Chains A and B, each alone.
Chain A
């Protein structure tokens, strides 16, 4: 069978598979935030950056596996790059974990813990971002959005197209497809995939927070590599 290697380990792949898909199937964890096995790759978070033997960096979620590729993944250098990217996500939004309903079950936190991220390193942006609590069953707190595009892709797949990302730089934000721009006037319902897929605490179905006590939450004692390869995640 055709194969690539990741950090020296032989990883078989089927024609058409991405490096990420082949790695996941072989039980090799490549950090990721915008990748989800059920949706078209988006390639925006760059968390899954890996290095080819010729020194080129590729994103494992968008690049197809090709016979004989020799890939570096879990290296000190790449993990430092990933940590810096994660720190940028933390300072770009407003992530006050102690006050967040997703804390303990948040993939952004999970990746940060995996990378042993101890500080935010960069100056905080303190961007002004709106919160939308108009929907009776769903909360949108844009302060915690990392623009992974998963809600956009999920809502598109279920034919509702409730979300899109608009604006640039510090003004980039998630917009809601409704006359008022508010969730309450959109077609989103709590059982939509789009309402349940957010890797962070930006989109939350109400009434579900803080159910697992501290110590029993997803990432309290289990590294995200273990959780992800076990088929679970915080989304």
Chain B
């Protein structure tokens, strides 16, 4: 049997909805683990990426840590995939892009109704926010994109099985949508 493909996944400025949708492949995950080995992923809790065949990135980049993680994935993954609306165009987090960052923080942590002990979080452990949220292809080269908010389980399944079988991945009309 051919060596298993190695697959890594992460969520940057996303909501984990794409990961949840991935898990909607349900019992097909038993077939998948026969064919791929999971590396860094919230599903394995492995913290750093080792050389992989496929990296799935959910979410855009909204802070310095996102940029760091994304570069780690690009350096290690042969095929890097933008998964979901946020990875592709920044998505809903990017709707803050028309508002100055300071105003966003003040509204959330200082002026918002019901706030106790108002202060803008400033712990050195926290990654610094970028002025704007960006899609991941503006930071690293991306090989494929899977649209959808989230892409359905069938999209993940079709894409991964195409790659595993050595086909050029393609999605039919019914699998391509932006919402």
A residues with CB within 8 A of B: 90-91, 94-100, 103-104, 109, 112-113, 116-121, 123-124, 126, 128-129, 214, 220-221, 223
B43 close to A (CB within 8 Å): no
- Are the C-beta atoms of B135 and A97 separated by less than 8 Å? no
Instruction: Judge if B48 is at the interface, Cβ distance under 8 Å.
Output: no
Is B145 close to A, CB under 8 A? Answer: yes
Establish whether residues B82 and A119, one from each chain, have CB atoms under 8 Å apart when the complex forms: yes
| Contact sample, A vs B, 19 pairs, CB 8 Å cutoff | A96-B94, A97-B85, A98-B149, A103-B178, A104-B179, A118-B144, A118-B145, A118-B146, A118-B176, A119-B88, A119-B142, A119-B145, A120-B89, A121-B137, A124-B94, A126-B132, A128-B98, A129-B98, A221-B173
Interface residues on B, range: 20 to 34
B145, A124: Cβ atoms closer than 8 Å: no
Instruction: Beyond A96-B95, A103-B179, A126-B90, list 8 extra A-B contacts (CB 8 Å).
Output: A96-B94, A103-B178, A116-B173, A118-B145, A118-B146, A119-B137, A119-B142, A123-B135
Question: In the assembly, what is the distance between CA of A109 and CA of B176, in Å?
Answer: 10
The digit string for B72-116, where 1 denotes a CB below 8 A from any CB of A, is: 000000000010010011111011011000000000000000000
Q: How far is the CB of B56 from chain A (nearest CB, A)?
A: 14
Give the interface SS of chain A, mostly helix, strand, loop or mixed.
Answer: loop
Asked if residues B178 and A98 are in contact (CB atoms below 8 Å), the reply is yes
Query: Is B147 in contact with A95, judged by CB distance below 8 angstroms?
Result: no
* Chain B residue nearest in CB terms to A127: B98
Give the residue name and chain of the A residue nearest to B93 (CB).
A96
> Which residues in A have their C-beta under 8 angstroms from that of B95?
94, 96, 99
